[in-house]
């Protein structure tokens, strides 16, 4: 069977527009079979399974949300992902839509590297959910705080009265976790962060954990919700237990002259910029 490349687009992306058509044409000229798919956040895990046999690369065209969904689908099949930014933030993507064709030529020529990003798996009973950014246990629209009990590698870590808790990968450290006061982790740091959400305490701070840590979040007497990458939720009843660990990862395609992490921080969230640009 001919090697394939998949193109996964956000539903609002017109796959007939010139940059997408040109990217597909270049791949076909290189002898690849090309398949396309328009993703939505509500689709089930495994939505791409029928297309993955013989696929060497999946190109995600959209924003960070599209890349998150694509990475979750690709991780189980160990297929690398190239993120193409056609959205607004584009924190995780590597190239602009206008440069997609040239980037794919470089990929074909072997002029790229792979950067491993951890994937989280959250288990509730016999159900499993995956996330590239974060796993969140939260109280939803309820006003009252909830009690959560947390264990790390089988040892008691703490009991919190809070809105919930978030476990984030290094990739997710610039997402929801950042808005809650969590640390920024370089994407190549093999670590997770644990943050209670709005805890009723002055002293509960984020904790950085090894990427190998296994975190268990238990609800002794409250109901809550589990959300993975902000895209999928399930309800949790009193006594529910969520087991979170990183069983593996996904490879993102990177180029030597691609986006510098610190330049990205400056451009997207103004990290490292002075309050006043010109002091003269």
At 188-230, the pLDDT tens digits run 999 999 999 989 887 788 999 999 999 999 999 999 999 999 8
* pLDDT attached to residue 116: 95
Active site residue 251: no
| Closest by CA position to 8, among listed 18, 19, 20, 17 | 20
What's the whole-number mean pLDDT along residues 10-32?
88
- The better pLDDT of the pair 272, 225 is held by 225
With cut-offs at 50, 70 and 90, classify the pLDDT of residue 28.
Answer: very high
Position of tokens 């246990």?
Answer: 137
3, 64, 161, 257: the catalytic one is: 64
Q: Per the structure block, which two tokens stand in for 71?
A: 């990475």
- How many other CB atoms are found less than 10 A from the CB of residue 109? 9
Is the pLDDT assigned to residue 42 strictly greater than 70? Answer: no
Q: What is the pTM of this model?
A: 0.88
Residue found under tokens 């930014």: 85
Domains and CATH numbers, the chain: 4-112+255-269 (3.40.50.10330), 119-248 (2.60.200.30)
Instruction: Say if CB 65 and CB 231 are below 8 A apart.
Output: yes
Give the integer Cα–Cα distance in Å for 186 and 171: 8
Maximum C-alpha span of the chain: 64
pLDDT for 257 equals: 81
DSSP per residue over 37-76, as a string? Answer: EE--TTSPTTTTGGG-TTEEEEEEEESHHHHHHHHHHHHT
Q: pLDDT of 55-104, one tens digit each?
A: 999 999 988 888 988 998 899 899 999 999 987 667 788 999 999 999 99
């Amino acid at each position: 069977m001919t090697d394939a490349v998949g193109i996964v687009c956000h539903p609002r992306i017109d796959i007939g527009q010139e940059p997408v058509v040109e990217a597909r044409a270049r791949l076909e000229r290189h002898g690849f079979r090309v398949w396309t798919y328009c993703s939505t956040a509500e689709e089930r895990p495994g939505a791409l399974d029928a297309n993955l046999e013989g696929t060497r690369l999946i190109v995600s065209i959209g924003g960070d949300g599209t890349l998150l969904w694509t990475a979750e689908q690709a991780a189980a099949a160990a297929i690398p992902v190239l993120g193409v930014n056609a959205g607004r933030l584009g924190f995780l993507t590597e190239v602009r839509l206008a440069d997609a064709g040239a980037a794919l030529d470089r990929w074909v020529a072997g002029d790229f590297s792979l950067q491993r990003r951890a994937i989280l798996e959250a288990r509730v009973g016999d159900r499993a959910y995956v996330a590239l950014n974060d796993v969140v246990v939260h109280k939803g629209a309820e006003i009252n705080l909830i009690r959560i009990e947390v264990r790390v590698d089988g040892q008691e870590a703490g009991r919190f009265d809070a809105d919930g808790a978030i476990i984030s990968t290094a990739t997710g450290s610039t997402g929801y976790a950042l808005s809650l006061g969590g640390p920024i982790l370089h994407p190549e740091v093999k670590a997770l962060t644990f943050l209670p959400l709005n805890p009723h305490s002055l002293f509960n701070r984020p904790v950085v954990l090894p990427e190998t840590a296994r975190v268990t979040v238990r609800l002794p007497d409250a109901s809550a919700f589990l959300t993975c990458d902000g895209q999928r939720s399930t309800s949790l009843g009193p006594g529910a237990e969520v087991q979170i660990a990183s069983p593996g990862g996904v490879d993102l395609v990177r180029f030597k002259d691609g986006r510098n992490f610190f330049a990205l921080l400056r451009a997207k969230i103004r990290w490292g910029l002075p309050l006043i640009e010109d002091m003269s």
